[in-house]
């Protein structure tokens, strides 16, 4: 018997016949999660911004598991048109969706905006996934036991939603805006579960975080333009203190597959920043009903995506 605090991929049940979408699945936590799900016989869609890198990720999975069923599809969460195009392309290939894993994200870049004029982190990490979930909701609702897994971060603890400055034009602090986007992920995940429960839908919304995991996210964010000495120092800190992408992906896979979950949980390393996954807590602000409802309304207005079944 596996100890309760040692949940690993060995605990994942057979996923044969299930369709799962993982955003940002070409590297890091997304790749590790996709690999584990594919090994358990799920049909895994790698929803990626760079399809060449997606194909490379698919090839790596097939090297390990030649019988894996892996699909690569284009998705740029920083462009709402791409979200809609992906949803249409998905509808042409699939009739159901068992698990949607909202994993892709950007961390603390210099100030930039998406193609739709949103601040990049809020637009990608939250609004892109909000829109994607809304567009794919019909597939989730028609699939028995479906789940939406939204990846947040410990950074949510310092996050606040600044509705008067969501675009960052009144001032931008990269880490504060990252924390805002990660708090938004949690507010969305919890509010989605409340709305699904009111509808009586057989769909669960679960949030998770990877702890302090060594991935490419930092290199693509605040350290992308850092000098070599800073990058060397960062790599050293990662090697000493961060857990692997594999360990960082376990909370995501736990959230996606553990049959004991009822929806509305937050999954992360039991040790806080490191360790095996289990149910953890989030700050009180993430459970603010009025804040979540207002964020939902604003998100619908900004994206033009309305969850008609969940109103």
307 vs 130: CA distance, rounded Å: 10
pLDDT at residue 241 above 80? no
- Per-residue pLDDT, 274: 79
pLDDT at residue 212 above 70? yes
Q: What is the pLDDT of residues 97-130, one digit of tens each?
A: 999 999 999 999 999 999 999 999 999 999 999 9
pLDDT at residue 253 above 50? yes
- Per-residue pLDDT, 308: 80
Which region among 9-18, 24-33, 141-150, 227-236 has the lowest average model confidence (pLDDT)? 227-236
Note whether 39 and 68 are within 8 A (CB): yes
CATH code reported for the domain at 14-304: 3.40.50.720
Measured in whole angstroms, the distance separating CA 14 from the mean position of its chain's CA atoms is: 22
**Structural domain boundaries of the chain?**
14-304
pLDDT at residue 217 above 90? no
pLDDT at residue 216 above 90? no
- pLDDT-based confidence at 271, cuts 50/70/90? confident
- Per-residue pLDDT, 244: 87
- Per-residue pLDDT, 1: 38
Q: What is the pLDDT of residues 122-152, one digit of tens each?
A: 999 999 999 999 999 999 999 999 999 999 9
Q: Is 254 a catalytic residue?
A: no
Q: What is the pLDDT of residues 3-21, one digit of tens each?
A: 456 899 999 999 999 999 9
Percent of the chain whose pLDDT exceeds 70: 88
Q: What is the mean pLDDT of residues 212-228?
A: 55
Q: What is the mean pLDDT of residues 286-294?
A: 98
Note whether 7 and 87 are within 8 A (CB): no
Which of 94, 111, 178, 276 does the annotation list as catalytic?
178
**234 compared with 206, residue with greater pLDDT:** 206
Q: What is the mean pLDDT of residues 204-216?
A: 84
pLDDT, mean over the chain: 91
Q: What is the pLDDT of residues 156-200, one digit of tens each?
A: 999 999 999 999 999 999 999 999 999 999 999 999 999 999 999
């Amino acid at each position: 018997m596996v100890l309760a605090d040692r949940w690993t991929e060995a605990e994942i049940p057979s996923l044969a016949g299930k369709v799962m979408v993982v955003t940002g699945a070409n590297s890091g936590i997304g790749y590790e999660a996709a690999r584990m799900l594919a090994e358990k016989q799920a049909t895994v869609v790698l929803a990626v911004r760079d399809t060449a890198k997606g194909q490379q990720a698919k090839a790596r999975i097939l090297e390990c598991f030649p019988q894996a069923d892996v699909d690569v599809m284009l998705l740029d969460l920083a462009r709402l048109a791409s979200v809609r195009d992906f949803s249409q392309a998905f509808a042409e290939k699939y009739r159901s969706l068992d698990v949607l894993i909202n994993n892709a994200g950007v961390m603390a870049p210099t100030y930039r905006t998406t193609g739709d004029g949103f601040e990049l982190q809020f637009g990608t990490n939250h609004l892109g996934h909000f829109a994607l979930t809304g567009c794919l909701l019909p597939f989730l609702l028609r699939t028995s036991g479906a789940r939406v897994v939204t990846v947040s971060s410990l950074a949510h603890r310092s996050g606040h939603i600044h509705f008067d400055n969501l675009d960052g034009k009144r001032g931008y602090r990269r880490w504060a805006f990252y924390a805002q986007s990660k708090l938004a992920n949690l507010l969305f995940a919890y509010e989605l579960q409340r709305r699904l429960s009111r509808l009586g839908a057989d769909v669960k919304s679960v949030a998770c975080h990877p702890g302090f995991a060594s991935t490419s996210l930092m290199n693509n964010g605040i350290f992308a333009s850092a000098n070599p000495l800073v990058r060397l120092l960062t790599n050293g800190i990662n090697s000493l203190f961060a857990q692997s992408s594999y360990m960082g992906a376990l909370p995501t896979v736990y959230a996606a597959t553990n049959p004991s979950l009822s929806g509305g949980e937050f999954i992360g390393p039991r040790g806080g920043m490191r360790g095996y996954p289990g149910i953890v807590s989030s700050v009180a602000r993430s459970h603010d009903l009025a804040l979540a409802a207002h964020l939902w309304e604003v998100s619908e207005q900004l994206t033009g995506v309305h969850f008609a079944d969940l109103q």
